Amino acid sequence: MALTTNPHVLKWIDESIALVKPDKVVWIDGSEEQLNELREQAMATGEMIKLNEEKLPGCFLHRTAINDVARVEGRTFICSRKEEDAGPTNNWMDPKEAYEKVGKLYDGAMKGRTAYIIPYSMGPIGSPFSKAGVEITDSIYVVLNMAIMTRMGKDVFTALGDSNDFVRGLHAKADLDEENRYILHFPEDNTIWSINSGYGGNVLLGKKCFALRIASYQGKNEGWMAEHMLILGLENPQGEVKYVAAAFPSACGKTNLAMLIPPEVYRNKGYKVWCVGDDIAWLRIGPDGRLWAVNPENGFFGVAPGTNEKSNPNALASTRQGTIFTNVVHNLDDNTVWWEGLDKNPPRNALNWKGEKWDGATATEKGAHPNSRFTAPAKNCPCVSPEFDSSTGVPISAIIFGGRRAKTAPLVYQSRDWDNGVFVGSIMASETTAAATGAVGVVRRDPMAMLPFCGYHMGDYFQHWIDMGKKLGDKAPKIFNVNWFRTDDEGNFIWPGFGDNMRVLDWIIKRTENQADAQETAIGYVPKAEDINLDGLDFSIDTLKGILEVDKDLWTQEAEGITEFYKKFGDHLPKELANQLDILKANLKK
């Protein structure tokens, strides 16, 4: 029974169903009753394993195919009508070719299976920030994850009415064949196609596919921004909350910062940190002319390994109920889960992520996949913001960029103005660690942490940032860059990080309120060491001065690297950014 009379939705569903030819079609209404039926079915087939109801109420374990464990950037395409519009940093496929070639793979792909039709909202249903999507999938795993990650159900259709402004997502597991795995985005058609994968990031189409790749294109056309950013609120002892949005490439502590627990000296005074979002922010200019943000998601899709009581107690607490774990260790003794870095007690009687017998005391291979995941409801998070479901969002005082640099970037610096801040975001980079590639210290640029997620030409994306700054004028948030990862000559991290990053956030907020001083350097404004609060921390002011230093020789090399990187964007590079690079080079010669 269709849940909507929207002619655009019905036409697209009819065409898609005619293509994939399922035996049965089920409309997902979002009711707990229907979701429970699907959980029962998934348990019966072994697709989901019910975990210990006392220790992990409402939690399940799922294993993906062994060849299907991560996002596949090489198989991810932007299918814009003109190749130039996809830009130099995306894979491009002609939409005609894509529809024809991949259409053949979809033909009859759901024979013998059930197609589930999922209406979902990115952002609170009915908020002016929010957008509707409909995903057709043959995976119960997808339905149950989308129930955690989005606002899902028939109310979405009520809010959509007869509008054609919804994102069409078609997902078929097909044969999980790597050679025929495609994640296709058609920005001009508001359409996403995903085939031959069952892994989260490729098949939960509301996440990176819609909320970043398609939404970034929508935002450019409609005058708002879709960004790969956490959103957090910092509450001072007077009860005032200031919000920041922050972008970091992977493995730079984004989720840890989003759920930060302030150091004791701050907690005792009454400071609090509120998590609005850990991964994606949609930002619009509000009626007051300021930039406001919502988290379009409803849950966390976090990496499990390394998540523990010390690194991120709030994330761990979020997984204690109603969570789906993917590709972690199954502890058979008490029917719970485990992963590397959870604690020092790996289970002896267990199954690894592939479902093979595994003994943590003698095993030579890791038990959980390095990209194993948890899908947890945001409402479980102990520090979830009271504004989490707000339809107006939260006003952003500061935007923070960051990467992983051993020597180059100081602990924190502030851009001179908005255009300089866009420059700072566009040159964001991390150095590879040995674990990643075998090569150490290779600089990987990831502008605004959006390199894999921008749905159009990145040069035009930079221009959109510049244009947003013109609209915001003097109400624009201040822009900063942080680097928690400065190392000494032995390669040890100097700054303690984790909760102590609050000390840097504190200075950032003070700068937005014109309450802290700074010194101008060749790259921007750096704090005076005495303005970073070190109370209760065994950390010398001289060491702090060391990690606030700007080394002109290193930055001269950096400027050369930026010059090379910028060549990629050709005449799409905004003149404002070319100008910022010239200013940097001139400053370094002074």
CATH number at residue 346: 2.170.8.10
Return binding residues for substrate: 71, 199-201, 250, 371-373
Q: Is residue 61 part of a domain?
A: no
Say whether both 262 and 291 belong to one domain: yes
Among 241, 270, 246, 268, residue whose Cα is nearest residue 258: 246
Q: Is residue 280 part of a domain?
A: yes
Q: Is residue 367 part of a domain?
A: yes
Tokens of 1: 């029974």
Among 232, 256, 367, 375, residue whose Cα is nearest residue 307: 256
Backbone angles phi, psi at 61, to 5 degrees: -115, 140
Residue 112 maps to which CATH number?
Answer: 3.40.449.10
Say whether both 396 and 277 belong to one domain: yes
Among 274, 504, 245, 524, residue whose Cα is nearest residue 399: 245
| Residue 434, pLDDT score | 58
Among 40, 24, 62, 2, residue whose Cα is nearest residue 138: 24
Say whether both 446 and 319 belong to one domain: no
Say whether both 525 and 552 belong to one domain: yes
| Residue 438, pLDDT score | 58
Say whether both 276 and 331 belong to one domain: no
Say whether both 528 and 420 belong to one domain: yes
Cut 0.85: pTM above it: yes
252 is catalytic: yes
Q: Is residue 60 part of a domain?
A: no
Sheet of 329-331, strands arranged across: 336-338, 329-331, 350-351, 357-358
Give the residue ranges of DSSP H helices in 239-329.
Answer: 254-258, 264-269, 313-318
| Residue 440, pLDDT score | 73
CA distance 217 to 115: 28
> Mapping DSSP to helix (H, G, I), strand (E, B) and coil, where does residue 482 land?
strand
**Kind and range of the H or E element at 135?**
strand 131-137
Beta carbons of 129 and 391 less than 8 angstroms apart: yes
> Mapping DSSP to helix (H, G, I), strand (E, B) and coil, where does residue 68 land?
coil
Answer with the one of 380, 403, 432 that is the final residue of a domain: 380
- Give the chain's domain count: 3
Amino acid at 77: F
> Mapping DSSP to helix (H, G, I), strand (E, B) and coil, where does residue 560 land?
helix
Return binding residues: 71, 199-201, 208, 228, 250-256, 279, 371-373, 404, 498-501
CA distance 182 to 405: 34
| Residue 253, pLDDT score | 87
Q: Is residue 50 part of a domain?
A: no
Estimate to the nearest angstrom the gap between the alpha carbon of 207 and the chain centroid. 8
Backbone angles phi, psi at 94, to 5 degrees: -60, 130
pLDDT tens, the chain, 590 aa long: 899 999 999 999 999 999 999 999 999 999 999 999 999 999 999 999 999 999 999 999 999 999 999 999 999 999 999 999 999 999 999 999 999 999 999 999 999 999 999 999 999 999 999 999 999 999 999 999 999 999 999 999 999 999 999 999 999 999 999 999 999 999 999 999 999 999 999 999 999 999 999 999 999 999 999 999 999 999 999 999 999 999 999 878 899 999 999 999 999 999 999 999 999 999 999 999 999 999 999 999 999 999 999 999 999 999 999 999 999 999 999 999 999 999 999 999 999 999 999 999 999 999 999 999 999 999 999 999 999 999 999 999 999 999 999 999 999 999 999 999 999 999 999 997 655 455 777 899 999 999 999 999 999 999 999 999 999 999 999 999 999 999 999 999 999 999 999 999 999 999 999 999 999 999 999 999 999 999 999 999 999 999 999 999 999 999 999 999 999 999 999 999 999 999 999 999 99
Say whether both 77 and 219 belong to one domain: yes
Backbone angles phi, psi at 484, to 5 degrees: -80, 0
Q: Is residue 177 part of a domain?
A: yes
Say whether both 30 and 128 belong to one domain: yes
| Residue 435, pLDDT score | 53
> Mapping DSSP to helix (H, G, I), strand (E, B) and coil, where does residue 174 land?
coil
Containing domain of residue 115, as a range? 7-45+72-223
Say whether both 369 and 407 belong to one domain: no
- C-alpha to C-alpha distances, 155 to 5, 111, 138, nearest whole angstrom: 13, 30, 22
> Mapping DSSP to helix (H, G, I), strand (E, B) and coil, where does residue 231 land?
strand
Q: Which residue in the list 59, 79, 209, 252 is annotated as catalytic? A: 252
> Mapping DSSP to helix (H, G, I), strand (E, B) and coil, where does residue 551 land?
coil
Say whether both 282 and 327 belong to one domain: no
Answer with the one of 223, 245, 263 that is the final residue of a domain: 223
Answer with the one of 223, 254, 276 that is the final residue of a domain: 223
Amino acid at 315: A
Residues 6+ apart with CB under 8 A from 243: 231, 232, 233, 234, 276, 293, 394, 395, 396, 397
- C-alpha to C-alpha distances, 53 to 332, 342, 381, nearest whole angstrom: 14, 20, 19
Return binding residues for Mn(2+): 208, 228, 279
Tokens of 585: 């080079």
Tokens of 57: 């109420």
CA distance 150 to 121: 6
**Kind and range of the H or E element at 62?**
strand 60-62
Amino acid at 90: N
| Residue 441, pLDDT score | 79
CA distance 6 to 12: 10
**b/e sequence 413-422, b meaning 16+ C-beta within 10 Å:** bbbbebbbbb
Q: Is residue 403 part of a domain?
A: yes
Residue 526 maps to which CATH number?
Answer: 3.90.228.20
Say whether both 142 and 155 belong to one domain: yes
CA distance 188 to 79: 9
Backbone region of residue 44 per phi and psi (left: phi > 0; alpha: psi in -120 to 50; beta: other values): alpha
Tokens of 334: 């008490």
Backbone region of residue 356 per phi and psi (left: phi > 0; alpha: psi in -120 to 50; beta: other values): beta
> Mapping DSSP to helix (H, G, I), strand (E, B) and coil, where does residue 48 land?
coil
**b/e sequence 271-284, b meaning 16+ C-beta within 10 Å:** bbbbbbbbbbbbbb
DSSP 168: E
Say whether both 23 and 153 belong to one domain: yes
Backbone angles phi, psi at 251, to 5 degrees: 65, 25
Estimate to the nearest angstrom the gap between the alpha carbon of 28 and the chain centroid. 26
| Residue 353, pLDDT score | 98
Return binding residues for GTP: 251-256, 373, 404, 498-501
